[in-house]
Structure 1
């Protein structure tokens, strides 16, 4: 009997992604670092808090809405609610409004549906989690650190490997050194770019990206790319004989069969 394994694109078994909140001007420097080292990040923004918005809670340190499409090109723009309330305290209908209005505002700035989400102030409830799929949200990132490289068990309670101030370089070294391919691994880093200004430690993220970036064995992806790829991979349908496999998604999926890398295109694939 042959062994079949799902892989990341091009047969890789390690993936790296980032998640940064609030859309402050320090994102400009962070994006430049990511771009230099071939990284991809997800940036969670509040559509009602851009400096030129009509909201009374304007913050001049936030980037402007007119800058969003250009600054985050090649990365993911995702939701963080319209006005950044602590949503566990809000009525559910107002949580709905916060998320949908955030999506509406951000989708006016970027050319794709905005379906990622991070909980503002780390605040959520089981009721809110159950609400998110109906609002077009595909995942919800929580705060805290797992300190491991495992895949999420719950897309709406997705915990990162670490905040960048929590053993980032140590975890990066461990991640780069992973050699066993029996498992898929994910390193996920989160934080706020303005923390690098506050803490005076831009060298930390620069060092991390230098040591983990531009490596052919790592898949660099946004949060939504990771979510969609894994979801599509889990929908593959193999025949009992293993001679054919149906890929019902709209994107290619990679597998290995007895160690040989195979790219599965949309539709029916013949393997023998």
Structure 2
């Protein structure tokens, strides 16, 4: 029987994703750094604050062009501490944020990060009914590179203030292909202005960007890919696999990388 492992696209075993909250004007500089290094980010936005100069928020129109090639995700309409709110308010905050962002950016919003890091088991149960498939928390793994056990309680590897370069150097040196590694960095772009340390994200992106062995993906792309893998249908004897998805999934079969195209059955 063949030894079969899932890989990331094209047989890669390392992935990098970035996650930044609030949609503040400093995102312009951050996106430029990401784009220069071929890195993808997910930007969690409070749509109720577009154009609000008091909160240093951008206008809708400039965001459409800015975030092309990246993911825009929900962060609630007005950034309340949702674990303290009635569920009716939570529904309003999430659904109105989704509606606004979908109108502006033209695709379905299916992800989120919890405003103020506030969430509860009850909220996690409710979110899928509101169309939310993942949500990031503020707690981190402090250097862990694994995939989450629960997409609605997704812990990043680190905040960018937490030994970013040390974790980055460890990540790029990983080489054991029997594992799938994910480095997930989160923060707020305005923190680089406040702390006068844009150099740290620039140095990290230069280190981690442009590498052939890393898959650069948004939060949602990672969720979609792993769910596509879970939908594969393997024969009991592991002689073949059916891919009911529209997109490809890659497998390592006795060390050989095999693409399993969407809608196709592949024999091993």
Q: Given the two structures, how large is their TM-score scaled by the length of structure 1?
A: 0.96
In 1, the alpha carbon distance for the partners of 2:131 and 2:244 equals 20
The answer to whether residue 197 in structure 2 is matched with residue 224 in structure 1 is: no
Corresponding residue for 1:14? 14
Return the offset for 1:63.
Answer: 1.0
- Partner SS, residue 117 of structure 1: strand
Contact preservation (8 Å) 2:160, 2:187:
yes
Residue number in structure 1 paired with 2:96: 101
Query: Aligned residues, how many?
Result: 267
Equivalent position of 1:132 in the other structure: 127
How far does residue 65 in structure 1 lie from its aligned partner after superposition? 1.1
Of the three residues 245, 248, 251, the one matched with 1:252 is: 248
In the TM superposition, residue 270 of structure 1 has moved relative to its aligned partner by 2.4
The secondary structure found in structure 1 opposite 2:105 is coil
After superposition, the C-alpha distances for 1:80-122 in whole angstroms (9 at most, x for unaligned) are 0001100011000110000000000101111210111000000
How many Å separate the matches in 2 of 1:117 and 1:175?
A: 25
For the aligned residues, what is the CA RMSD? 1.0
**1:166 paired residue number:** 162
Deviates more, 1:63-72 or 1:21-30: 63-72
- 3-state SS, counterpart of residue 176 of structure 1: helix
**Deviations 1:216-270, CA, capped at 9 Å, x for gaps:** 1000000000001011111111113333211122211000100111000112322
1:127-165 Cα shifts (integer Å, max 9, x gaps): 111000000001010002202001100010000000000
Instruction: Specify the alignment match of 1:90 in structure 2.
Output: 85
CA contact (8 A) 2:34 2:41 kept: yes
Aligned to 1:65: 60
Secondary structure class of the residue paired with 1:124: coil
Unaligned runs of 5+ in 2: none
Gaps in structure 1 of 5+ consecutive residues: 53-57
Distance of 2:114 and 2:105 partners within structure 1: 21
- The 8 Å contact of residues 50 and 59 in structure 1, kept in 2 or not, is answered as no
Q: Provide the C-alpha distance between the structure 2 equivalents of 1:60 and 1:187, rounded to a whole number of angstroms.
A: 30
Question: What is the Cα deviation at residue 67 of structure 1?
Answer: 1.4
